[in-house]
Structure 1
Amino acid sequence: MQNNMPLKYLQARHGEVAPGYLHPRFEPILRETRGVVIFHEQVMRLFDELTGCGLGKADVLQRHLGRPRDLPRIEEFVRRRALERGFPPALIAQVWRVLAGFGSFGFAKAHGAAFALPTYQSAWLKTHYPAEFLAGLLTHDPGMWPKDLIVAEARNLGVPVLGLDVQTSGLEYRVEELVDGSLGIRLALPELVGSSEAERARIARHQPFTSLQDFRNRVHPRKRTFEALARVGAPGLFRWL
């Protein structure tokens, strides 16, 4: 990332630029990723090609790239051995910048594959079932993105986000069909700040309600829960007032 590798990979992947392998001896190592260093295994093979150290030591070197105090020692070793193996100084400096930058973020090929599969699956779901996909994302809250960002993305995709309603909101985010046939996402009861888990469970269990008195008798809400519902303007409750 420090070396802008994602952009370089995408440009090469889509044919906007020709892959750059830095040196013909690196092409077998970097061909599958269009000349961009992505995986730990590639870093190990580059270390081995540059220094002849063997893959065992190369594995140790790539793991130590994330330790700033070790970088000068590794750099000195790489520059000295690469010169001995016939690489020109300018190329060594260029390759070292790539390797040193890789220490800030990198992963093994197996790790990349484990991410790639759910990434493609998620992209397909988001494209063909955006309401269902985002409702699931909001419910399970993986924590990588704040919920307001997910809600903004839903609106950007034309998926309405419906307010909390004691008649229809569940313990999870739900997909509801609107009068025009489109789909919206209904906010979930756990988003009602100030309510207890037991109160939310009773709301979900006793839906629907016929009146405010019916709601009170079956849910037994505390005053603060009524106040929380009033703050969010829950239409399924206050339409009886």
Structure 2
Amino acid sequence: MTDRRALVVRGGWEGHHPVETTELFLPFLEKSGFDVRVEESNEIYADAEVMAATDLIVQSVTMSEISKEAFAGLRSAVEAGTGLAGWHGGIADSYRANSDYLHLIGGQFATHPGRPPAERPGDETDNYLSYTVDMTELGREHEITAGISDFSLTTEQYWVLHDDLIDVLATTTHPVQPYHPWHRPVTSPAVWTRQWGAGRVFVATPGHSVDVLEDPNVRTIVERGMLWASRAARTS
């Protein structure tokens, strides 16, 4: 018997593999006791009855658009206690034209600095860099990231614009390179949480492709983050 309901909403830019990446986590959600519903459109957010019965939303919708009614339903659900979780552009680069959505999430993708120009083959790997995800002091103690040491990835390194209402569990630092215009290292949140009304928001910026999400550190963080965000996890 399941006693929790998860809503997986996927779509948007296909370059982030919304179907393949969300399918990776469906067995985990089901094993964790969730009755999982998958939707290919964010218009489901406008269904007040569905949203009121949902304990966790897992969103993978990069860029794209959201209607006024759908966003209002999403925000109201989170404020009422529904958890919202996601990774990479599926949550941190969604609905760029909706400033209220950016406010809800607390951090927004700005860019992913690329490799040296002479080393770019002209495909998505132009923006693949080797970088470190560094745990914060909070992250070393938080249930999502406890026991996970700093780790390295070779993939897109997100530069995130953010506010100080988020609780940062891990960061990543963009170094100064001669082919970039900034003049000092810039540190961005890589994993964060946000309290919003009665709800919780979880974001991990790694997750460009399935292989990144299969990294043991990333997968553990995402799985724990979904459970942490879920309403039922807080009331059971």
Please indicate, yes or no, whether the TM-score normalized by the shorter chain is above 0.5: no
Q: Which has the higher contact order (CA 8 A, sep 6+)?
A: 2
- Relative to the length of structure 2, the TM-score reads 0.21
More strand by share: 2
TM score, norm. by length of structure 1: 0.21
- Structure number having the greater helix percentage: 1
